[in-house]
Amino acid sequence: MVQLPIYLDHNATTPCDPRVVEAMVPYFTNSFGNAASRNHPFGWQAEGAVDNAREQVAQLIGADAKEIIFTSGATEADNLAIKGVFEMYKSKGNHIITCNIEHKAVLDTCKHIEKEGGEVTYLKVNDDGIINLDELEAAIKPTTILIAIMYANNEIGTVMPMKEISAIAKKNGVLVFTDATQAVGKISVDVNKDGIDLLAFTAHKMYGPKGVGALYVRRKNPRVKVTAQIDGGGHERGMRSGTLNVPGIVGFGKACEICKNELEQDAVRIVKLRDKLENSLLGLEEAYLNGHKQNRLPHVSNISFKFVEGEGLLMGFNKDIALSSGSACTSASLEPSYVLKALGLGDDLAHSSLRFGLGRFTTEEQIDYTIEAVSKTVLKLREMSPLWEMFKEGIDMNSIEWAHH
């Protein structure tokens, strides 16, 4: 018997790998020192542990340890990158280019930049969730200082063409920042091969602890600087003050080391499970894949089940299976996912979507259970859906005058 509940929401967060927890434990008790205490063994020990972790974190993305700034997570790293570049490069310009399916941590930071006198261009994406490179190049102006495009999207898993994006940026002398929260640890990310100047990521999306993340800031070709957003004791070479979260950082380092060693074999195994799930569910009538089928993270599948509402669908099994929906029925705005809408999906399909996020510990048994439970609920709710009945009778739903709220 499969053990319930099943966790298939790994884009939201991941469990800590037991090896990560094991590495962290001593730093809560015996080795509790402050990494900034320079004059006693407790401090030295903590500093050594942080140095080691910094090396592990850097290696996963092909960076130098000196280029890693530890933060409280990806949201803080996104803020530091965008606000930090905006303030540091003010004399050069005030224009930032991003896209409309970024995470709110980037979009809301850009909104803040606009209030501060910055100018932001929000590129549209095509129906697979990828930006148009010609539009990107055309959007660059003399005042452009930063291109901020996510490495991979959190809802649909689509991976952006980072190498091409950074080539365009380099040609025009513009810095590239990428929110790689969903990508690092899942697919191979290399800041040099990809030509990235700043990169944000976090531990808890790759089997590390919550509350710790990092910003990579390039030190050579070009040397990039950001203005600190948190002032204090001058930690992290003055770019991020605050006592270092030593156990968290140690766990982050260990998580990165494991990902570096196991990422490829994990991806092969997870893709198989993901494809099994996806192919089975797409076998249902009127089920559609959202996002790019190939250029995609190995563990994500976002599917719309037309004529069934996502939250209603989740309710059929959410005691047993943890999933997310693009339906925003729980929110006061009743607006469905802005990411799915940006792909050009009608609101009806956006309301009907489920996001499956598989992980390192997902088993075939769990996938089989999920296929069965989701299929059964879709069929049951369609029997209850007036839209399904109309569809089956061949009624054109656009011909109906709906009462819009």
Partner 1 sequence: MAYSEKVIRHYQNPQNVGTLDKSKSNVGTGLVGAPECGDVMRLQIEVDDATGVITDAKFKTFGCGSAIASSSIATEWLKGKTVDQAITIDNMTIVEELHLPPVKIHCSVLAEDAIKAAVNDYRQKNGLEEIKFEESVVH
**Which residues make up the interface to partner 1 (CB under 8 A)?**
307-312, 315-316, 327-332, 334, 336, 346-348, 351, 383-389, 397, 400, 402-405
Q: In the complex, what is the shortest distance from the CB of residue 392 to partner 1, in angstroms, rounded to a whole number?
A: 11
Q: In the complex, what is the shortest distance from the CB of residue 351 to partner 1, in angstroms, rounded to a whole number?
A: 4
Sign of the alpha-carbon torsion through 15, 200, 83, 212: positive
Task: Give 31 or 318: the residue with its C-beta nearer to partner 1.
Answer: 318
Q: In the complex, what is the shortest distance from the CB of residue 385 to partner 1, in angstroms, rounded to a whole number?
A: 4
Task: Give 197 or 309: the residue with its C-beta nearer to partner 1.
Answer: 309
**Nearest alpha-carbon partner for 258 in 102, 60, 401:** 60
Task: Give 27 or 388: the residue with its C-beta nearer to partner 1.
Answer: 388
Task: Give 15 or 316: the residue with its C-beta nearer to partner 1.
Answer: 316
Active site residue 329: yes
Helices (H), ranges, 74-185: 74-88, 104-115, 133-139, 162-171
Structural contact between residues 200 and 210, judged by C-beta atoms closer than 8 angstroms: no
Side chain identity at residue 363, one-letter code:
T
Q: Enter the tokens of residue 223.
A: 């040397």
Q: In the complex, what is the shortest distance from the CB of residue 310 to partner 1, in angstroms, rounded to a whole number?
A: 8
Burial class (CB in 10 A: 0-12, 13-18, 19+), 404: exposed
Pairing mode of beta strands 353-357, 300-305? antiparallel
Q: Enter the tokens of residue 197.
A: 């100047």
* Catalytic residue, candidates 16, 256, 259, 329: 329
Structural contact between residues 97 and 127, judged by C-beta atoms closer than 8 angstroms: no
Q: In the complex, what is the shortest distance from the CB of residue 309 to partner 1, in angstroms, rounded to a whole number?
A: 5
Task: Give 56 or 327: the residue with its C-beta nearer to partner 1.
Answer: 327
Burial class (CB in 10 A: 0-12, 13-18, 19+), 115: exposed
Q: In the complex, what is the shortest distance from the CB of residue 108 to partner 1, in angstroms, rounded to a whole number?
A: 22
Q: What is the longest distance spanned by two Cα atoms in the chain? A: 80
Q: How many other CB atoms are there within 10 angstroms of residue 306's CB atom?
A: 21
Task: Give 271 or 284: the residue with its C-beta nearer to partner 1.
Answer: 284
Q: How many other CB atoms are there within 10 angstroms of residue 283's CB atom?
A: 10
- Side-chain-facing half-sphere of 233: CA atoms under 13 Å: 9
Give catalytic residues, as residue numbers. Answer: 329
